[in-house]
Amino acid sequence: MGGFFGTISKGACITDLFYGTDYNSHLGTRRGGMATYDKEEGFTRSIHNLENSYFRTKFEPGLPKFKGKAGIGIISDTDAQPIVINSHLGKFAIVTVAKINNLDELEKELLEANMHFSELSSGKTNQTELVALLITQGKDFVEGIENVYNKIKGSCSMLLLTEDGIIAARDKWGRTPIVIGKKDGAYAATSESSSLPNLDYEIEKFIGPGEIVRLRADGMEQMRKPNEGMQVCSFLWVYYGFPVSCYEGKNVEDVRFMSGYKMGQKDDSEVDCACGIPDSGVGMALGYAEGKGVPYHRAIAKYTPTWPRSFTPANQEMRALVAKMKLIPNRAMLEGRRILFCDDSIVRGTQLRDNVKILYDYGAKEVHMRIACPPLIYSCPFIGFTSSKSPLELITRQIIKELEGDENKNLDKYATTDSPEYKKMVGIIAERFGLSSLKFNTLETLVEAIGLPKRKVCTHCFDGSSCF
């Protein structure tokens, strides 16, 4: 996925930019970048590979070279960014959080229009540069950004650092968020509201779908009104979001707690305690424990100093290794107990298989699993929250293929809670991993916990429904 941070201030902005960007590090692991603008020195840009290190480690030594009162930064799982462009619109730097499914088609279209690309990412056209070129086809920035909205298939939110402020433009369906923060003499725009408090910003505004605003140190200007329709990604609350972050005014930890609480109230399983798979399963587990009326125990601890997230590495072998190494079981909390664990989701099932085996090896009497969201039946075409190359990497699709002979058959039935097909699929997953019981949250409970109307939340990966 990725996350960005931009700030413009009456004074030097470098410290805020550096730490604000770093607070988006949980959203990506591949590349980081920053760009600043100074009236005397112009644009300064730096990009580093983060696959074997961290943002702060890579960028801190080079901070003295950055000057200016405005800047943008990015943590990216895709392209090397920011890109700096000189065009008829003026000079600007750009960062994007995007997934462009028709990249090849748009690349061909631009090349046939005698445009060229200078940036490559893993041998392919850099999609952020492609977005920049689409913008330069407009007579002004608003028309150019609308050109992006109209032409790409997927999603794209962006920040543009110009000589006249920072332009923030949210994806036309609002699939990824942009939050505006304000403090005395400065504004900020970020993917994660958790970037703001420790830098003394207060949330000023949640930018709407397709909305475009320009930030200057002394104010905010709306350049395009938001669209009526919205499809914000529900997985932001399930997995991606940092616990203290808010999207559309809905706090991540509160949503996770409520989804667990509602599930615990209805669950008739007999267990001794509830536990969470760190980190995204903890909030749900705390809610489940309260709703169920059982104690919460920390039976697994996460070793964070050196082990990054296991979700994002492209190599499956590395994902499995990281997942195993970072989670350490606590025998004292496991031995002889009927343990109920909460987790955010089951994608491939690799981590679940390993985790369950470890729990039994450390003395658990029973291992029950509760999942914060419904089964993942469809791959995400909008933000790519998994690194799956095909639907068959989803354990649900593997089982559907085993049962139906075709991984695409009867998907609506397998996505329907408590249908015979759904029950059989869930039962196979539970048996395959040696679980005493397995239950997924219903779509209705998840949407209720989020607290937004269903029509405003993208649930495509669960039920195949969304706007394209």
DSSP characters for 108-152? HHHHHTT-----EETTEE-HHHHHHHHHTTSSSHHHHHHHHHHH-
- Stated length of the chain: 468
> How do residues 226-236 score in pLDDT, each as one tens digit?
999 999 999 99
Q: Residue 407: is its pLDDT beyond 70?
A: yes
Phi, psi of 301 (to 5 degrees): -115, 145
C-alpha to C-alpha distance for 115 and 312, rounded to whole angstroms:
33
Across 356-365, average pLDDT: 93
Instruction: Check pLDDT > 90 for residue 78.
Output: no
pTM for the model? 0.93
Residue 337 has pLDDT above 70, yes or no: yes
Asked if the model's pLDDT at residue 119 lies above 70, the reply is: no
Mean pLDDT of 137-150: 98
pLDDT of residue 108: 92
Domains defined along the chain, listed by start: 2-230 (3.60.20.10), 256-463 (3.40.50.2020)
Alpha-carbon span 236 to 256, nearest angstrom: 11
List phi, psi (to 5°) of 404. Answer: -105, -15
Report d(CA 37, CA 278) in Å as an integer.
39
pLDDT for 339-356, tens place per residue? Answer: 999 999 999 887 788 889
pLDDT tens, 238-292?
999 999 999 999 999 999 999 999 999 999 999 999 999 988 899 999 999 999 9
Pure H helices in 275-410: 282-292, 316-326, 331-334, 350-361, 395-404
Q: What is the pLDDT of residues 276-334, one digit of tens each?
A: 998 889 999 999 999 999 999 999 988 876 665 544 555 666 666 666 777 889 999 99
- Does 79 have pLDDT greater than 60? yes
